[in-house]
């Protein structure tokens, strides 16, 4: 997995088509006939949010008689609609738009939603705002004060401690460029490991190698980058002009040659299974402890970052005190590996585009929705414009 590679846009399109061909979407999405009420409460996930787009979707729900539920209500109903027009709206990452766009509109429409937030990222953001060595805000996330003010409308749940990408092999996938720095939020960058410690502030220099990546909760063992090689490569890029170096037509081939010279045949160190277990356990336990204490309630929902989890991670989530884990259209692992876990519910989610497949006036065709999604991603691939999710 490498979210920074342009071909990832095509992978997203292929995934959508795979889900359609393999009948992984619920019936109301794929059926040409309009059902009265879906049996299972549809759960929609939002990432890129604009006021205009959200207003249109909320209008669609109101016009067609839909009501919203939070995570506790969803669990209480066992995910079943019982003949009522119910949906759950979920928003990932705790971006500032949750406060500036989503919260005011939900109040105006008298609706509710669930937000999966990253307490470690919030703490890091607030630390950087008071740290004289890091005066600039690292990412556009909601503050604790804003989250606390929204709780009557927005049900805050866990999205893990960090939005954590690790390196899982020694193969260089790409290099850290000005384009990555400007086009991706800092929470999407890998967390470096230096001097035996993780660096959630993500102080990555231009030209640093980015190896193949995976989620911290994927079950993969982490491969630690070479601090010496990354530092030397960053210094080399700086001497070559820093950001201006990447305007050269041959910057990538030059950077690959310099990396090969610096790295040689040296192998990268891999963490032990015990190190991985300790790190992953901390993601579950610390995120829940921080949220419980900050919000004054028991947080019971956990949404896997990047939609990537594992049967082992689910077991750890249950042991940490969560009663529901959230994915994408399906769990990210082979479902034949799934282990029944009493007290833990697996919740799958649809991207917000499919809200327009709910029965009602103004319902869009599936082909139109898929075409619009592909158009956005291709525009991003070719021109760096548009939203990809």
Q: Domain for residue 387, yes or no?
A: no
* Co-location of 124 and 186 in the same domain: no
Which pLDDT does position 2 carry in this prediction? 72
* Co-location of 126 and 256 in the same domain: no
- Beta-strand pair 165-175/209-215: antiparallel
C-alpha to C-alpha distance for 119 and 288, rounded to whole angstroms: 9
Q: Domain for residue 282, yes or no?
A: yes
Which pLDDT does position 158 carry in this prediction? 98
Q: Say which residue the tokens 């738009």 belong to.
A: 97
**DSSP state string for 93-126:** ETBTHIIIIIHHHHHHHT--EEEEE-HHHHHHHH
Q: Domain for residue 129, yes or no?
A: yes
C-alpha to C-alpha distance for 325 and 330, rounded to whole angstroms: 11
Say how many CA atoms lie within 13 Å of 300 toward its Cβ: 16
For residues 201 and 134, the answer to whether their CB atoms sit within 8 Å is yes
* Co-location of 181 and 208 in the same domain: yes
For residues 67 and 84, the answer to whether their CB atoms sit within 8 Å is yes
Q: Domain for residue 12, yes or no?
A: no
* Co-location of 242 and 328 in the same domain: no
For residues 44 and 350, the answer to whether their CB atoms sit within 8 Å is yes
Classify 78 in phi/psi space as left (phi over 0), alpha (psi -120 to 50) or beta.
left
Which pLDDT does position 135 carry in this prediction? 43
User: Which stretches in the chain have pLDDT values below 70?
Assistant: 1, 6-10, 128-139, 380-389
Residue 187's domain spans which residues? 165-215+226-267
* Co-location of 191 and 128 in the same domain: no
Which pLDDT does position 6 carry in this prediction? 65
Q: Domain for residue 252, yes or no?
A: yes
Q: Domain for residue 368, yes or no?
A: no
Which residues, 6+ apart, have CB-to-CB distance to 10 below 8 Å?
A: 377, 381
C-alpha to C-alpha distance for 342 and 300, rounded to whole angstroms: 14
- In the structure encoding, which two tokens stand for residue 311, read together? 């049967």
* Co-location of 182 and 43 in the same domain: no
Q: Domain for residue 207, yes or no?
A: yes
* Co-location of 83 and 155 in the same domain: yes
* Co-location of 146 and 287 in the same domain: yes
For residues 93 and 116, the answer to whether their CB atoms sit within 8 Å is yes
Q: Say which residue the tokens 């103004």 belong to.
A: 362
Which pLDDT does position 9 carry in this prediction? 61
* Co-location of 145 and 241 in the same domain: no
Which residues, 6+ apart, have CB-to-CB distance to 116 below 8 Å?
A: 90, 91, 92, 93, 94, 157, 158, 159, 301, 302, 303, 326
* Co-location of 242 and 309 in the same domain: no
Q: Domain for residue 20, yes or no?
A: no
Q: pLDDT per residue over 157-216, tens digit each? A: 999 999 999 999 999 999 999 999 998 899 999 999 998 899 999 999 999 999 999 999
In three state form, how does the secondary structure of 247-304 look? HCCCHHHHHHHHHHHHHCCCCCCECCHHHHHHHHHHHHHHHHHHHHHHHCCCCCEEEC
Domain count, the chain: 2
C-alpha to C-alpha distance for 95 and 122, rounded to whole angstroms: 10
Q: pLDDT per residue over 315-366, tens digit each? A: 999 999 999 999 999 888 887 777 889 999 999 999 999 999 999 999 999 9
Which pLDDT does position 137 carry in this prediction? 45
- CATH number of domain containing 122: 3.20.20.370
* Co-location of 44 and 148 in the same domain: yes
* Co-location of 178 and 151 in the same domain: no
């Amino acid at each position: 997995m490498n979210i920074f590679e342009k071909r990832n846009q095509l992978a997203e399109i292929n995934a959508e088509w795979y889900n359609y061909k393999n009948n992984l979407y619920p019936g109301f999405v794929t059926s040409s006939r309009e059902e009265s009420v879906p049996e299972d409460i549809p759960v929609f996930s939002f990432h890129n949010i604009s006021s205009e787009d959200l207003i249109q979707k909320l209008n669609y729900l109101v016009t067609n008689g839909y009501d919203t539920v939070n995570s506790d209500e969803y669990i209480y109903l066992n995910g079943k609609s019982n003949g009522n027009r119910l949906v759950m709206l979920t928003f990932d990452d705790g971006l500032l738009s949750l406060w500036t766009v989503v919260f005011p509109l939900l109040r105006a429409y008298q609706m509710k939603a669930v937000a999966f937030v990253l307490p470690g990222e919030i703490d890091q953001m607030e630390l950087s705002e008071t740290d004289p060595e890091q005066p600039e805000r690292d990412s556009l996330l909601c503050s604790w004060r804003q989250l606390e003010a929204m709780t009557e409308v927005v049900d805050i749940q866990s999205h893990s401690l960090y939005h954590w990408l690790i390196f899982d092999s020694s193969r260089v996938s790409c290099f850290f460029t000005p384009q990555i720095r400007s086009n991706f939020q800092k929470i999407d960058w890998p967390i470096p490991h230096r001097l035996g410690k993780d660096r959630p502030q993500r102080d990555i220099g231009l030209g640093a190698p980015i190896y193949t990546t995976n989620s911290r909760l994927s079950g993969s063992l982490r491969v630690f980058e070479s601090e010496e090689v990354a530092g030397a490569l960053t210094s080399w890029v700086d001497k070559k002009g820093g950001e201006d170096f990447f305007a050269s037509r041959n910057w990538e081939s030059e950077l690959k040659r310099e990396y090969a010279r610096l790295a040689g045949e040296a192998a990268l160190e891999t963490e032990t299974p015990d190190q991985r277990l300790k790190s992953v356990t901390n993601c579950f336990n610390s995120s829940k402890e921080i949220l419980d204490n900050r919000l004054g309630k028991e947080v019971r929902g956990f949404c896997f970052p990047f939609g990537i989890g594992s049967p082992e991670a689910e077991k750890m989530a249950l042991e940490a005190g969560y009663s529901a884990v959230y994915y994408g259209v399906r769990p990210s692992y082979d479902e034949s590996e799934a282990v029944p876990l009493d007290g833990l519910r697996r919740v799958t989610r649809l991207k917000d585009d499919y809200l327009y497949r709910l029965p009602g006036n103004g319902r869009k065709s599936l082909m139109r929705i898929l075409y619009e999604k592909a158009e956005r991603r291709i525009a991003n691939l070719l021109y760096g414009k548009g939203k990809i999710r």
